[in-house]
Structure 1
Amino acid sequence: MKIKIIIGLFIFCCGVLSAQEKKWTLEECVYYAVENNLTIEQFELDLENAKIDKSDAIGDMLPNFNANASLSGNSGLVLDQSRNQQVTGTVTTASGGFSSSVNLFDGLRNIHRLNRAKLNALANQYRLDNLKDDIMLAVANAYLQVLSNKESLKVFRAQYAVTEQDLVRTKELVDAGVVPRGDLLEIEATAANQEQQIVNGENQVLISRIGLAQLLQIRDYENFNIADEEFDIPPSNILDNSPKTIFDKALTFRNDIKFSLSNVDLALKDLQIAKGAVYPTLGAFFNYGTRYSSEFRNPLTFDRIAFADQLYLTDGIAYGLQLNVPVFNGFGVKNNIKRAKIGVERSRLQLEQDKLDLETNINQAYVDVKSFSKAYEAAQKTLEARRLAYNYTKERFDVGLMNAFDFSQSQSRVDNAEAELIRTKYDYIFRLKVLEFYFGLPITLD
């Protein structure tokens, strides 16, 4: 028994350690978010409902079949329905039968409802896929934000390590009387400021990790982390295509556009269903019934007739056709047609608006890629220049030709340039992936 407990604890501890050591890649985050997002699960339920509506529409086109049976007892002066006479005593009666009816013609509304149900299921699928697209972009943005904050934190720690070395060296120079004590205080102030940057950087990493975990519906924030990877600007030739080319391709596969198109088709089906109400409806029916009474007697011998014989003697059938012609229904049919026409026009306007929004977003994404590309190149040049200037000032500071304040200012400019380079780098990567996503390329950092 003890051995089983020890083995169980070992397996549990291994599972906990495995969960703590797991580092999530971008692809894993995207896949997990799509599989576990609560809104996606709700939309999937809507899709299942749409499929049930399709089954309902098919069922409305089939004949119905219903059976019925009843049993009752009456005491005193009662009506014997089998003989249609008043009798005194206790009478037990029973009846049963079945009926069936089918709609032969209803202005093709049942056919249109079936087609509408199919379109609605397709529209819900497009709606679900569009939500997945939005979540994938949101996860990619959050993931890159975590990476950006992690790289910034690494830079802050590396800068602090260099400052610590400068602090040690400056203390030695102060003790030797080479430089004034004010320079030491200035370096200490710089170190304190960098310690604050490290604390803020750690907080930013934690907050961004929590934000990403919330997108993934993961509540174990403390043990959630992403892979410690460094990504360079991925190669891409997306800018070889014009915004018009990207927009034209996006129209062929974007799920939000497909969803809008399906809404137009749904509105047209609603109009056809509304117009079908002006036509006559034709249906067929068939009914069979029989009955039993405990006081049903032979009219010649007055003997009670057996149960089975009564069912045979009293059964009957009814069948026929039923035609309904709409003449006047308080303007209801006419107004429903008008509403359906308005719905068609509204869905068409929404489609054009969605196309316009997509074109605007693509043009903005295209401009963002070019802008952030230039900003990243400028940040690289700025950092290179700041580092050269810093190296020059450091040489002067080391030989006592520059005071600590000017040296710390030079170092601060390098810090700002490195932070700006990291920010523009990941902003550029994300904008690049957004534009590629509009072109139909998957979200990867390869």
Structure 2
Amino acid sequence: MRKSIIIIVLLIGVFAQAQNKKWTLKECVEYALENNISVKQSELDLDLAEIEKLTAKGNFVPGISAGAGVSENTGLSFDPITNNARTTTFLSASGNINVGYTLFDGLRNFRQLQRAEISKLSSQYRLNKMKDDISLFVANGYLQVILNKANLEVLISQNQVTKEQIERTQELVDAGSLPRGDLLEIKATDASEQQSIINAQNSVQISLISLAQLLLIKDYENFDIEDEGYNIVDDGVASRDIAEIIAAAKDNRSEIKIAEQNVELAKKDLQISKGANYPTLSAFFGYNTRYADTPGVVSQIDPDNPTVTQQIGVVQSTGEAVVSEFPNTSLVEVPADPLVDQLYLNDGIGYGLQLNIPILNGFNIKSSVQRSRVSLERAKFELEQAELDLESTVYQAYVDAKGALKSYEAAQLAVESQDLAYSYAKERYDVGLTNAFDFSQSKLRYDNARIELNRSKYDYIFKLKVLELYFGIPATELKF
């Protein structure tokens, strides 16, 4: 009984721990990469590319086929062994093995295999890009939750100060040192802050739900994140020259690699199309055999009367008959040969080479080659456009990161200034040198400055990580 109670307590503890689990950013990213539908679809595309490669390898393997058949014939039929017409019932069987192999087809087999390898590499780059995009989506959603929680903490802490001021003002009003209007002003500020807290709580919950949906987690109520320990970690990428970042992006980003592989695919398609102009040489080999249970007919010598005398001519001068002895034979029906013997005696082999030369096919090959050339030119333009787009995107990310840093630094200065102004206003209010409205306005400006500091901080963190990602740092290795 005691052991059962201990087990139940342990299970409750484990369940409670699971319910109170807080997800780190790394856990969220890893979970998304493992469960996101778009990532799974990209992984399926990679599997299809591997299947395409296997198919291309199969073109180098000879084609082998085998066949067999059994039939029973009644009435007038042709004996499959002798090819003679017979009126009887017999069982027959046949079998064959055929082998074919393409010796030369304009190198299209080799080009298909090379194309399959390029296609697989392209699918891998698309999967990497999808993982990078998902990682950024998760990081952005995660930082949004942290921002909303930080803003909520600011509002709660400042509302606590407001409640303390209500108590202090109540004492001063009761003592006749302050008018009752100041107390009402502070209470109105408290009510407004309470409303802001409720809105901030809703923002936290909505952002958590959005992040959970991105991760495909359905337990919204118990989902929460680890909201501590995320600061600005700069590995020096933002201080690098923009030309260096753009060059690194072109060398590392999947967008460029995908466009490059599309060009290589178009080149292989052009080579494959041209290969159709060449002759195709193939070799073949065939083996076949047959069996029938029809009885055979043979000529046998009569053992009792082995010879017969027959006239074979006449002597012209005398008219005397010329006779000779011949074997005394007769046709005798014998049973069919055994199965193994017939398969050996009735087999046949065929082999040879076959050459196909394309001469005129309605301009199909020529049209295919021209289409492949157009596709190649299109792929080259798309690669050029991808490089221009990436350059523009990286430059924008660089400017955004620089601007976000300046905004963050300005927000820090603003908080310092508003902190001093708020402290000064509080001191003046406590001694009755300012009214409640001026004090509440000073406190509101201080609260807004702290909220703006939080926003600019996490905005800079995200934009800095975007820039690092373009520089070539893997999404799973970004530091926060």
Sort the Cα spacing of 1:276 and 1:409 in 2 relative to 1 into closer, same or farther, 3 A: same
- Whole-Å separation in 2 of the counterparts to 1:420 and 1:93: 93
Sort the Cα spacing of 1:5 and 1:324 in 2 relative to 1 into closer, same or farther, 3 A: farther
- Whole-Å separation in 2 of the counterparts to 1:247 and 1:410: 45
How many angstroms does 1:299 deviate by?
A: 4.9
How many angstroms does 1:420 deviate by?
A: 0.7
Name the structure 2 match of 1:292: 291
Sort the Cα spacing of 1:178 and 1:298 in 2 relative to 1 into closer, same or farther, 3 A: farther
Name the structure 2 match of 1:303: 334
Corresponding residue SS for 1:427: helix
Name the structure 2 match of 1:148: 147
- Whole-Å separation in 1 of the counterparts to 2:295 and 2:126: 65
> Matches of residues 43-122 of structure 1 in structure 2 within 5 Å?
43-122=42-121
Structure 2 spans left out of the alignment, 5+ residues: 300-331
- Whole-Å separation in 2 of the counterparts to 1:9 and 1:302: 91
Q: Which has the higher strand share?
A: 2
Name the structure 2 match of 1:240: 239
How many angstroms does 1:236 deviate by?
A: 3.9
Name the structure 2 match of 1:196: 195
Name the structure 2 match of 1:283: 282
Name the structure 1 match of 2:430: 398
Structure 2 counterpart of 1:234, which letter? V
> Matches of residues 119-130 of structure 1 in structure 2 within 5 Å?
119-130=118-129
Structure 1 spans left out of the alignment, 5+ residues: none
How many angstroms does 1:266 deviate by?
A: 0.9
Q: 1:312 aligns with which of 327, 333, 344?
A: 344
Q: After superposition, what is the alpha-carbon deviation per residue over 1:60-109, rounded to whole angstroms, capped at 9, x for unaligned?
A: 11112221110011223333333323332322211002110100000000
Q: Which segment is superposed worse, 213-222 or 367-376?
A: 213-222
How many angstroms does 1:11 deviate by?
A: 5.0
1:83–1:296 contact (8 Å) kept in structure 2: no
> Matches of residues 172-183 of structure 1 in structure 2 within 5 Å?
172-183=171-182
- Alignment RMSD (CA, Å): 1.9
- Whole-Å separation in 1 of the counterparts to 2:217 and 2:63: 49
How many angstroms does 1:296 deviate by?
A: 5.4
- Whole-Å separation in 1 of the counterparts to 2:298 and 2:6: 88
Sort the Cα spacing of 1:189 and 1:30 in 2 relative to 1 into closer, same or farther, 3 A: same
Corresponding residue SS for 1:360: helix
How many angstroms does 1:10 deviate by?
A: 4.4
- Whole-Å separation in 2 of the counterparts to 1:42 and 1:331: 39
How many angstroms does 1:395 deviate by?
A: 2.1
Name the structure 2 match of 1:265: 264
Corresponding residue SS for 2:355: strand
Sort the Cα spacing of 1:344 and 1:12 in 2 relative to 1 into closer, same or farther, 3 A: farther
How many angstroms does 1:308 deviate by?
A: 2.3
Corresponding residue SS for 2:61: coil
How many angstroms does 1:4 deviate by?
A: 8.0
- Whole-Å separation in 2 of the counterparts to 1:219 and 1:399: 54
Name the structure 2 match of 1:409: 441
Sort the Cα spacing of 1:10 and 1:288 in 2 relative to 1 into closer, same or farther, 3 A: farther
2:80–2:290 contact (8 Å) kept in structure 1: no
Name the structure 2 match of 1:35: 34
How many angstroms does 1:222 deviate by?
A: 2.0
Q: After superposition, what is the alpha-carbon deviation per residue over 1:286-342, rounded to whole angstroms, capped at 9, x for unaligned?
A: 000011122252454432322222222221011110111111222211111111111
TM-score normalised by structure 1 residue count: 0.95
Name the structure 1 match of 2:321: none
2:159–2:190 contact (8 Å) kept in structure 1: yes
- Whole-Å separation in 2 of the counterparts to 1:288 and 1:296: 25
Structure 2 counterpart of 1:297, which letter? G
Point out 4+ residue stretches in structure 1 off by more than 3 angstroms: 2-12, 298-302, 442-446
Structure 2 counterpart of 1:315, which letter? D
TM-score normalised by structure 2 residue count: 0.88
Q: After superposition, what is the alpha-carbon deviation per residue over 1:321-375, rounded to whole angstroms, capped at 9, x for unaligned?
A: 0111111222211111111111111211111121111111110111111111111
Q: Which is greater in Rg?
A: 2
Q: 2:369 aligns with which of 337, 355, 361?
A: 337
Sort the Cα spacing of 1:395 and 1:75 in 2 relative to 1 into closer, same or farther, 3 A: same
- Whole-Å separation in 1 of the counterparts to 2:440 and 2:100: 92
- Whole-Å separation in 1 of the counterparts to 2:173 and 2:370: 90
2:238–2:464 contact (8 Å) kept in structure 1: no
Name the structure 2 match of 1:426: 458
2:139–2:462 contact (8 Å) kept in structure 1: yes
- Whole-Å separation in 2 of the counterparts to 1:150 and 1:131: 29
Sort the Cα spacing of 1:115 and 1:390 in 2 relative to 1 into closer, same or farther, 3 A: same
Structure 2 counterpart of 1:271, which letter? L
Q: After superposition, what is the alpha-carbon deviation per residue over 1:227-286, rounded to whole angstroms, capped at 9, x for unaligned?
A: 131433324422331111101111112122111111111111111111111111000000
How many angstroms does 1:421 deviate by?
A: 0.8
2:98–2:285 contact (8 Å) kept in structure 1: yes
2:147–2:458 contact (8 Å) kept in structure 1: yes
1:19–1:223 contact (8 Å) kept in structure 2: no
Q: Which has the higher helix share?
A: 1
How many angstroms does 1:5 deviate by?
A: 6.3
Sort the Cα spacing of 1:66 and 1:50 in 2 relative to 1 into closer, same or farther, 3 A: same
Sort the Cα spacing of 1:6 and 1:333 in 2 relative to 1 into closer, same or farther, 3 A: farther
How many angstroms does 1:39 deviate by?
A: 1.6
1:73–1:92 contact (8 Å) kept in structure 2: yes
Sort the Cα spacing of 1:70 and 1:352 in 2 relative to 1 into closer, same or farther, 3 A: same
How many angstroms does 1:15 deviate by?
A: 3.1
User: How many pairs were matched up?
Assistant: 445
Structure 2 counterpart of 1:355, which letter? E
Q: 1:363 aligns with which of 387, 395, 400?
A: 395
- Whole-Å separation in 1 of the counterparts to 2:126 and 2:455: 33
Q: Which segment is superposed worse, 63-72 or 32-41?
A: 32-41
- Whole-Å separation in 2 of the counterparts to 1:403 and 1:249: 59
- Whole-Å separation in 1 of the counterparts to 2:357 and 2:478: 62
